[in-house]
Amino acid sequence: MKKQIVKEFITVKKVYRLPREPSPPPPPPKRHVLAVGCCTLDMITIVDLPLTPGQKQRTKDGQWRRGGSATNICTVWRRLGLDCEFLGVLSSVRAFESLLNGLLSQGIDISHCPMTSHYPAHRSVIMRRDADIRTILEFSNVHQEITYQQFVGAVDYQKYSWIHFEGRNPAETQRMMMAVRDFNQRCPNLRIVTSADVDNLRPATMLMASFVDYVFIRRATKDAYSFMNGREVVCAARDAINDARSKWQKTQPRKMPYLLPDEPAEDSEERCKATPPDKPVVIYSNYSEGASCLMADDTFFKVGPQIPSRIVDSVAVNDTFSAATIYALEKVRMKLRDALEYGARASALKMTENGFDILRCLPKDLMGCYYA
């Protein structure tokens, strides 16, 4: 029998559809803040009377806890509910295990921190009871300082919206700041705000501070240079920054040895308007006299003092003010004056209890502080 071949014809009907709307772009990656500095082991001893050479005094109050300006700032950020990361050299010795566990338990990201087998940096802090007087003896060497190569290898600039530097090694820290500035020039839509914490007015430190957006001057600077008030501190810091920056610019080679035909001269008014001066905002805080601020256009204003009800722990008061101010500017989007007042209230509240746990009771906005 012959096989019959059956051909099936399939008709395809074209269906005309309306064009679909393009899918929305993916949301930008979530960015957080970063603190660069060192982590220390603080041994705090509280005494009743001032110590003299050869004196033996017993006390029942004291504690060991994690210290360092950068880690203290990260702790305050976490107490206020801000996602943060710490970048610094950590030690792998057994005495440092409790500090590492404390960082991880608080939710502070330390995944990019380099590890060393050397002994960790530690400090001996002697405090007077019910007084804002303390003596600090710190042990630190080059093995506990983060370098520029370690910073560049660990930092992904697209993940951060704010980077705070602890001004410990001005030469290495300045190179880190320059790397962040280069990224801001390449990607202006992902600009990173930078800040620094300084404790002296030396030329190297002031040159480093000239490359950030916000400069926080520590309270010890006023006593070291015998300034009368906060206005003198911020004005002297601005003059020192301008002098250090101008001397540094004279030593830099010129990128363009001649002017283009359509480019205005260096002293012309058009060129001065096109390139405004790059000046940071200088901030100084002291709970007894308030926070002083000098803007980039040399506008000065001051926030009133916040006197604590009692003084229990005065360690890391400057770090609390800096961290709370950065939190108010970055997370809550406050104006600068309101952010300084929020930071002053946070530092005054921190002095009433040991550690930073009391900051959990601090309202997350300035309006809540007024009614608290």
How would DSSP label each residue in 136-195?
EEEE--GGGSPPHHHHHHH--GGGEEEEEEE-SSHHHHHHHHHHHHHHHHH-GGG--EEE
For the chain, give the number of residues. 372
CATH of residue 147's domain is 3.40.1190.20
The span from the CA of 217 to the CA of 366, in Å, is 23
> What are the tens digits of pLDDT across the range 139-197?
777 777 889 999 999 999 999 999 999 988 899 999 999 999 999 999 999 999 999 99
Query: Residue 325 is part of which domain span?
Result: 32-48+62-250+273-371
**Which residue, chain included where needed, has tokens 């804002």?**
132
**Which tokens in the block code for residue 30?**
């979530």
Look-up of token digits 């399939």: 10
Domain membership flag for residue 15: no
Residue 136: predicted pLDDT = 80
Task: Pick left, alpha or beta for residue 290 (phi over 0 → left; psi -120 to 50 → alpha; otherwise beta).
Answer: left
Instruction: Tell me if 11 is assigned to some domain.
Output: no
Predicted confidence at residue 363, as pLDDT, reads 86
Q: Is position 19 within any domain? A: no
The answer to whether residue 246 is domain-embedded is yes
The token pair that represents 226 in the structure block? 């015998």
Give the C-alpha distances (Å, rounded to integers) separating 288 from 132, 224, 235, 292, 307. 11, 17, 19, 12, 6
- Region class of 107: left (phi > 0), else alpha (psi between -120 and 50), else beta: left
Give the CA radius of gyration of the chain.
Answer: 27
b/e 148-179 (16+ beta carbons within 10 angstroms → b): bebbeebbebeebbbbbbbbbbbebbbbbbee
With H, G, I as helix, E, B as strand and everything else as coil, classify residue 227.
coil
Q: Is 138 part of a structural domain of the chain?
A: yes
Q: What is the pLDDT of residue 116?
A: 84
The answer to whether 290 touches 230, Cβ cutoff 8 Å, is: yes
Can you give the pTM of this predicted structure?
0.84
pLDDT of residue 12: 55
SS3 content of the chain, % helix, strand, coil (to 5): 35, 20, 45
Please tell me the distance from the alpha carbon of residue 118 to that of residue 113, in angstroms, as a whole number: 15
Is residue 324 included in any domain, yes or no? Answer: yes
Q: Does residue 6 belong to any structural domain of this protein? A: no
**271 φ/ψ sector (left φ>0, alpha ψ -120 to 50, else beta):** alpha
Q: How far apart are the first and last CA of the chain?
A: 100
- Number of domains making up the chain: 1
Asked if the structure places residue 306 within a domain, the reply is: yes
Q: What is the reported pLDDT for 183?
A: 94
- Each residue's pLDDT tens digit in the chain (372 positions)? 555 555 555 555 565 666 677 878 777 778 899 999 988 888 888 887 777 777 777 877 778 888 889 999 999 999 998 999 999 988 888 878 888 888 899 999 998 999 888 777 888 888 777 666 777 887 777 777 889 999 999 999 999 999 999 988 899 999 999 999 999 999 999 999 999 999 999 999 999 999 999 999 998 898 888 898 999 999 999 999 999 999 998 888 876 655 555 555 544 444 333 334 478 999 999 888 889 999 999 899 999 888 888 888 888 899 999 999 999 999 999 999 999 999 999 999 998 888 888 898 888 887 777 665
